[in-house]
Chain A
Amino acid sequence: MKLILENIKKNYGAFTLNADLELNQGEFHTFLGPSGCGKTTLLRIIAGFTAPDSGRIYLDGKDITEVPPEKRNISIVFQDYALFPNMTVARNIGYGPETRHWSKERIKARTEELLEAVELSGYGNRKPDTLSGGEKQRVALARAIAVNPELLLLDEPLSAADEKLKGALKAQIVETHRKNNLTTIYVTHDQEEAMTLSDRISVFRRGNIECTGTPQEIYFRPKTLYAAQFVGQSNILKGTVKSMGEMVEVQCQNQTIRVKNCSYKCVPGDEVALFFRPECCTIASGNEENIIRGKVESRTFYGSRYTCSIETGCGKIRVYDSYPFQIQDSDCQIAVKPENIILFQ
């Protein structure tokens, strides 16, 4: 179902949430941001647990702003699972269908189908306190989709899981989303989760949606410097706009760097920040544009690659290297293509 959030506002004294957003049918959308940025508040507003101060929420064209949570047909999976401890796994999954007065046979069939789907067949009669964290998470997921909700909300569902379990659960979430073609909103502060799961990501900052886009857009073409820094590793160089033309020339200390992409209309003399990813840097052979000279300061091993920290006249730059090392000398030259650099105010 298509979800539209129109001028949503919620004020908590010093903190104000503002949101305008459209989600497409079947989209897997992630709210990404640090703790306290308002992503869970917006999720609770969508679920109906928190009322917005102003703005409207439309689900499939219907205004649901005033509709109580139990009538919205929006399911939620919480970080702490919120399984009913007094009920068996099967009764937990069948809870939603029961409230909708499905027949006993239909509830049983749906429960069994979902238990199989989340690979927990035979667990129906067990109580939640006998399950592991991953199993609880899968039961919570099955319970949420049992009623065929119009929208599925996932509130940091993997934050309590260890790294190994996270992989399996992520696959389960993707599978569930794909099979049911559910419009899904996923809340997380983990950029890797956001990148690997989402169709689109909204990056939150202090109660505002800083930018929205596909993972690729957010990563390679971030619209704000905050989003650029929040997602992945980044290099930021400070400089002054020197001249304008087909490309913008920016003076960084004693080096001139040519930039193709500007996030705003700059004029000569502007103090700006240049952003590019470590993987956009290459070892310069001598003919490239934007050659930056520097000295290798440290080299950190990350398993599949090394990260070199290079001190240049314009600031520190992070560059990825592999083994055997391509950057062999302590003095080196790095090249960054103008199209890989974004200029921010």
Chain B
Amino acid sequence: MKENRLFLLILFIIPFLLLLAFFYVPVITVFATGFSREGLGAVLGDSYCRRICLFSLKQGALSTLLSAAIGFPGAYILARYKFRGKNFIKALITVPYVLPPIAAVLGIVLLIGNNGIINRALMALSGAEQPPLHLLYNLKAILIAHTFYNIPLFIRFVYPVWEKIPASLYEAGRSLGAGRWRLFRTVTCPWLLCAFIAACALIFVLCFMSFSIVLVLGGGPQYSTLEVEIYKLARTTSQVTKACALGGLESLITLLFISVYTAAGHQRSSYSIPLGRHGAVPEKKLSARSFPALLYIVFLILYVAMPMATIALNSFTGKSGWGKEKGLTLNWYKAFAQPNMYNPVLNTIFIAIATVICAIVLSLIISAVISRWPRGSFLVQIFFFASLGISSILLSLGYMLTISALGFRPNGKLLLIAVHTAAVLPFTIKAISLFYSRINRRCIECAQSLGAKPLRILWTVKLPMIKNGIFTAGIFAFAVSAGEVNGALMLAPEGFTTMPVAIYRLIGAYRFYQACAMGTVLLLICIAAFYAIDRLGEISL
């Protein structure tokens, strides 16, 4: 047993050193550069930087408020009503989890742009010659994209908690004289509070660190955020010190909200009391009388599905010029025979597979350590989960700085794999360690008593028990890596383009239909990943 532990600790040194080299060193370099007198001075003395910082907070707060306000009735409906298609809605609100932001951006541009579906429909209806809605390239567009992602996220966070409130709590309250309002105030709200705070904190972090949505839909310096500004400072104007200072500031705010999220999530687990004998509150049937609920469901389906449907539909639409439609075509898919279209697909698959291998191997070692060393697991988790609060842009900036300090340039693809691995590692560790923790110790002891050696136990007992966790983690890592644009924009070597970067460039070149074909392929990869994860396990933090 002691030998096993020693072997595990030696093995643990590999991920420890890798994370130290590929995460902590670059991040600390960014902080050291950013929090220098020069860096802080450049940021604090610059009114533009202050404005960017305030705008980042503002759009994050507004996105969170809107997502929570619009998502709250959705959580109620999913928790309290039963209706045909409920499983479809549950699946639909999961899709944005794995949908690459650049694909969502493309869908939203085609939907709400001046020449988008909504404006064209309104022009056809009203006979107007100019598009009536000007939603792109401003705060409204950012909020629409963020709520597209985060209304479903909010619902997914809150409704499972809501539907598990034991019916006996309401019945006890009613028997003691409480009416509907008092029950909502004293039973429902406190029960939901932690899930509500956790969802809001997570949504805020995601919106605050949002990159490609702001980069494309913000439209310029007026609607720029810290994340976009760091990218521009580092890549376009080479003001690396200023970029580092902004990155440090962004990380501090992000870590604060991640702490709130973690604390709320931890508190939430103390409410997980088992449902009583009578279970949860029985679901109501959705009937014609529940008109507002029906209306909401239609709105939710349209809001979530339309950007994705728009991409898919446009990828089959042929055009000879602006507004002149030629009907359905497969031309945009035939273009995949050309190197500029198939190379990004191959590059994306290459990077994603490499990320999967790295993330799985590291996660297996770390999960084994966590399971065998429960006292230290908290520290191990903090060490490996820290990448959650650091954006890919900031990490890429760290690589650029470290590389220039060391005086050599490693392979850009290797750095991209490292960035992607760091981004997915907290999730893959969680997915695998969840299954690891469920391994029945008695089975292992049984195998030992029957004479099995450690490797045989690993192969015949442990791995079969955690295989779903490994598959889940692998598929999730693949989907995230395939859709990641931030690191690819910062680090990819010249001529090496991934699918999200290709989509970004095609949008910039107004080649929307080719972008849609590429987007649809990416979308299918992500939906297939979601489907597989849904079947095999779960991804959470």
Residues of A within 8 A of B (CB): 40, 47-49, 68-76, 78-80, 82, 84-87, 95-96, 99-100, 129, 140, 143-144, 146-147, 153, 155-156
Contact = CB atoms under 8 A, between A and B. Distances in A.
Contacts of A71: 177
Given A79-B276, A80-B276, A86-B191, A49 B171 contact: yes
Interface string B165-205: 01011011111111100100011001101000000000000
Contacts of B191: 85-86
A132 B416 CA distance: 53
B178 A95 contact: yes
Interface of B: 166, 168-169, 171-179, 182, 186-187, 190-191, 193, 270-271, 273-277
A139 to B, nearest CB: 11
Given A80-B276, A85-B190, A100-B177, 7 more contacts: A48-B174, A80-B277, A82-B169, A84-B187, A146-B176, A153-B175, A155-B277
Contacts of A72: 175
A180 B352 CA distance: 71
A129 B168 contact: no
Contacts of B177: 70-71, 73, 96, 99-100, 147
B182 A69 contact: no
A105 B313 CA distance: 68
17 contacts: A49-B174, A70-B178, A82-B166, A82-B169, A84-B169, A84-B187, A86-B190, A86-B271, A99-B178, A100-B177, A140-B172, A143-B172, A144-B175, A144-B176, A147-B176, A147-B177, A156-B277
A84 B175 contact: no
Given A80-B276, A95-B176, A147-B176, A47 B168 contact: no
A69 B274 contact: no
The interface centre, meaning the residue of A71, A82, A96, A99 with most chain B CB atoms within 10 A of its CB, is A82
B399 to A, nearest CB: 46
Contacts of B190: 84-87
Contacts of B179: 70, 99
Contacts of A48: 174-175
A47 B168 CA distance: 12
Given A79-B276, A80-B276, A82-B276, A68 B174 contact: yes
A99 B166 contact: no
A84 B276 contact: no
Contacts of B276: 78-80, 82
B273 A69 contact: no
A144 B175 CA distance: 8
Nearest to B180: A70
B186 A95 contact: yes
A224 B191 CA distance: 48
A219 B277 CA distance: 30
Given A85-B271, A85-B273, A80 B166 contact: yes
A72 B275 CA distance: 25
A76 B277 contact: no
Contacts of B275: 80
Contacts of A156: 277
Given A80-B168, A84-B187, A75 B277 contact: no
B175 A99 contact: no
A302 to B, nearest CB: 31
Contacts of A69: 171, 174-175
Contact of A76 (B166, B171, B178): B171
Contact of B172 (A40, A82, A129): A82
Among A73, A85, A144, chain B packs the most CB atoms within 10 A around the CB of A85
Nearest to B273: A85
A70 B183 CA distance: 11
Given A78-B168, A82-B169, A70 B175 contact: yes
Q: Which of B173, B174, B190, B273 has the most CB of A within 10 A?
A: B174
Contacts of B186: 84, 87, 95
Contact of B171 (A82, A85, A95, A140): A82
B269 to A, nearest CB: 11
Nearest to A69: B174
A155 B179 CA distance: 22
A40 B177 CA distance: 21
A96 B174 CA distance: 9
Nearest to A152: B175
A143 B169 CA distance: 13
A76 B190 CA distance: 22
A178 B273 CA distance: 32
B539 to A, nearest CB: 27
A78 B174 contact: no
B396 to A, nearest CB: 43
A40 B187 CA distance: 23
Contacts of A84: 169, 172-173, 186-187, 190
Contacts of B271: 85-86
B182 A76 contact: no
B188 to A, nearest CB: 10
Contact of A129 (B173, B178, B270, B277): B270
Contacts of A144: 175-176
Contacts of B277: 40, 78-80, 155-156
A76 B175 contact: yes
Contact of A99 (B169, B176, B273): B176
A147 B190 CA distance: 23
A45 to B, nearest CB: 13
A73 to B, nearest CB: 8
A100 B182 CA distance: 12
Given A49-B171, A69-B171, A80-B168, A85 B270 contact: yes
Nearest to A79: B277
A153 B275 CA distance: 20
List of 7 A-B pairs having minimum Cβ-Cβ separation, nearest first: A86-B190, A96-B176, A80-B276, A82-B168, A99-B177, A69-B174, A82-B172
Contacts of A143: 172, 176
Nearest to B271: A85
Q: Which of B166, B171, B175, B276 has the largest number of chain A CB atoms within 10 A?
A: B175
A256 B295 CA distance: 78
A153 B182 CA distance: 22
Nearest to B173: A95
From A79, A80, A129, residue with most partner B Cβ within 10 Å: A80
B88 to A, nearest CB: 29
A63 B538 CA distance: 52
A77 to B, nearest CB: 8
B161 to A, nearest CB: 12
A344 B505 CA distance: 91
A82 B186 CA distance: 13
Nearest to B193: A86
A43 to B, nearest CB: 11
Contacts of A85: 190-191, 270-271, 273
B172 A78 contact: yes
A293 to B, nearest CB: 49
A87 B177 CA distance: 17
B197 to A, nearest CB: 13
Q: Which of B166, B177, B276 has the most A CB atoms < 10 Å from its CB?
A: B177
B350 to A, nearest CB: 50
Contacts of A87: 186, 190
A68 B174 CA distance: 8
Contacts of A140: 172
Nearest to A140: B172
B246 to A, nearest CB: 40
A74 B175 contact: yes
A260 to B, nearest CB: 44
A147 B173 CA distance: 12
Contacts of B174: 48-49, 68-70
A141 B192 CA distance: 26
A69 B172 CA distance: 10
B99 to A, nearest CB: 35
Given A75-B175, A147-B177, A99 B182 contact: yes
Contacts of B182: 99
